[in-house]
Amino acid sequence: MDVLSQLIGGFAVALQPMNLFWALIGCALGTAVGVLPGIGPALTIALLMPVTAQVAPASAFIMFAGILYGALYGGSTTSILLNTPGESGAVMTALEGNRMARNGRGAAALATAAIGSFVAGTIGTLALTFLAPAIAELAFVFGPEDYFALMVLSFTSVAVVMGRSMVRGFTALFFGLALGTIGIDTQTGQTRMVFGTLELLDGVSFTVVLVSLFAIGEALYVASRSGTVPAAINPLSGGSWMTRQDWARSWKPWLRGSVIGFPIGALPAGGTEIPTFLSYALERRLSKHPKEFGHGAIEGVAGPEAANNAAAAGILVPLLTLGLPSTATAAVLLAAFQNYGLQPGPMLFATNPDLLWGLIASLYIGNLILLVLNLPLVGIWVRLLLIPRHYIYGGIVVFALVGVWGLSTSWMDLLLMCGLGLIGYVARVYDFPIAPVLIGLILGPQAEIQLRRALAVSQGDWGVLVSTPIATTLLSIAFLVLVVPPILARLRARPKAEPAISAG
Contact pattern for another protein over residues 452 through 481, marking x by CB under 8 A: xx-xxx-xx-x-------------------
3-state secondary structure of 157: helix
Q: Is 351 in the site for another protein (CB under 8 A)?
A: no
For the bound state, the minimum distance from the C-beta of residue 273 to another protein, rounded and expressed in Å, comes to: 15
**CA–CA distance, 73 with 305 (Å, rounded to integer):** 8
H or E element in which residue 192 lies = strand 191-192
**Residue (116 or 144) nearer to another protein, CB:** 144
Helix/strand number for the chain, H first, E second? 21, 2
Contact 34, 77 (CB under 8 A): yes
Half-sphere exposure of 430 (CA within 13 A, CB side): 12
Q: Is 249 in the site for another protein (CB under 8 A)?
A: no
Among 29, 35, 278, 324, binds another protein (CB under 8 A): 324
Q: Is 339 in the site for another protein (CB under 8 A)?
A: yes
Q: Please identify, among the stretches 8-16, 243-251, 403-411, 490-498, the one whose residues bind another protein according to the rule CB under 8 A.
A: 403-411
CA distances from residue 195 to 17, 183, 199, 408, 448 in whole angstroms, order as listed? 56, 10, 10, 20, 21
For the bound state, the minimum distance from the C-beta of residue 476 to another protein, rounded and expressed in Å, comes to: 22
Alpha helices in 137-243 (DSSP H): 138-141, 144-157, 166-181, 206-210, 217-226
**CA–CA distance, 262 with 236 (Å, rounded to integer):** 33
For the bound state, the minimum distance from the C-beta of residue 203 to another protein, rounded and expressed in Å, comes to: 10
Among 4, 248, 347, 487, binds another protein (CB under 8 A): 347
**Residue (15 or 46) nearer to another protein, CB:** 46
3-state secondary structure of 388: coil
Q: Is 199 in the site for another protein (CB under 8 A)?
A: yes
For the bound state, the minimum distance from the C-beta of residue 298 to another protein, rounded and expressed in Å, comes to: 19
The rounded Cα 257 to chain-centroid distance in angstroms is: 12
**Residue (12 or 184) nearer to another protein, CB:** 184
For the bound state, the minimum distance from the C-beta of residue 170 to another protein, rounded and expressed in Å, comes to: 6
For the bound state, the minimum distance from the C-beta of residue 47 to another protein, rounded and expressed in Å, comes to: 4
Among 2, 54, 229, 350, binds another protein (CB under 8 A): 229
For the bound state, the minimum distance from the C-beta of residue 81 to another protein, rounded and expressed in Å, comes to: 15
Question: Looking only at residues 262 through 321 of this chain, which bind another protein when binding is defined by CB under 8 A?
Answer: 268-269, 318
**Residue (16 or 237) nearer to another protein, CB:** 237
Among 272, 287, 326, 367, binds another protein (CB under 8 A): 326
For the bound state, the minimum distance from the C-beta of residue 494 to another protein, rounded and expressed in Å, comes to: 28
Closest CA to 360 of 45, 109, 124, 75: 124
Question: Looking only at residues 89 through 148 of this chain, which bind another protein when binding is defined by CB under 8 A?
Answer: 102, 139-144
Question: Looking only at residues 204 through 223 of this chain, which bind another protein when binding is defined by CB under 8 A?
Answer: 216, 219-220, 222-223
Q: Please identify, among the stretches 272-280, 378-386, 425-433, 486-494, the one whose residues bind another protein according to the rule CB under 8 A.
A: 425-433
Q: Is 15 in the site for another protein (CB under 8 A)?
A: no
Pairing assessment for the beta strands 183-184 and 191-192 based on DSSP bridges:
antiparallel
Burial class (CB in 10 A: 0-12, 13-18, 19+), 401: middle
Among 21, 133, 134, 187, binds another protein (CB under 8 A): 187
What is the per-residue DSSP string for 405-474? Answer: HHHH--HHHHHHHHHHHHHHHHHHHTT--SHHHHHHHHHHHHHHHHHHHHHHHTTT-GGGGGSSHHHHHH
**CA–CA distance, 433 with 105 (Å, rounded to integer):** 22
**Residue (249 or 428) nearer to another protein, CB:** 428
Question: Looking only at residues 39 through 98 of this chain, which bind another protein when binding is defined by CB under 8 A?
Answer: 42-43, 46-50, 53
**Residue (230 or 499) nearer to another protein, CB:** 230
For the bound state, the minimum distance from the C-beta of residue 338 to another protein, rounded and expressed in Å, comes to: 7
Q: Please identify, among the stretches 122-130, 183-191, 305-313, 353-361, the one whose residues bind another protein according to the rule CB under 8 A.
A: 183-191
3-state secondary structure of 183: strand
Q: Please identify, among the stretches 67-75, 115-123, 177-185, 353-361, the one whose residues bind another protein according to the rule CB under 8 A.
A: 177-185
Q: Is 185 in the site for another protein (CB under 8 A)?
A: yes
**CA–CA distance, 173 with 160 (Å, rounded to integer):** 12
Contact 120, 258 (CB under 8 A): yes
**Residue (376 or 388) nearer to another protein, CB:** 388
Q: Please identify, among the stretches 54-62, 150-158, 197-205, 366-374, the one whose residues bind another protein according to the rule CB under 8 A.
A: 197-205
Q: Please identify, among the stretches 253-261, 379-387, 450-458, 486-494, the one whose residues bind another protein according to the rule CB under 8 A.
A: 450-458
**CA–CA distance, 478 with 398 (Å, rounded to integer):** 42
Q: Which amino acid is at 375?
A: L
- Cβ-count burial 102-119 (b if 16+ within 10 Å, e if not): eebbbbbbbbbbbbbbbb
Q: Which residue pairs, CB below 8 angstroms and at least 24 apart, start in 462-469?
A: 464/145, 465/145, 465/148, 465/149, 466/145, 467/145, 468/143, 468/145, 468/146
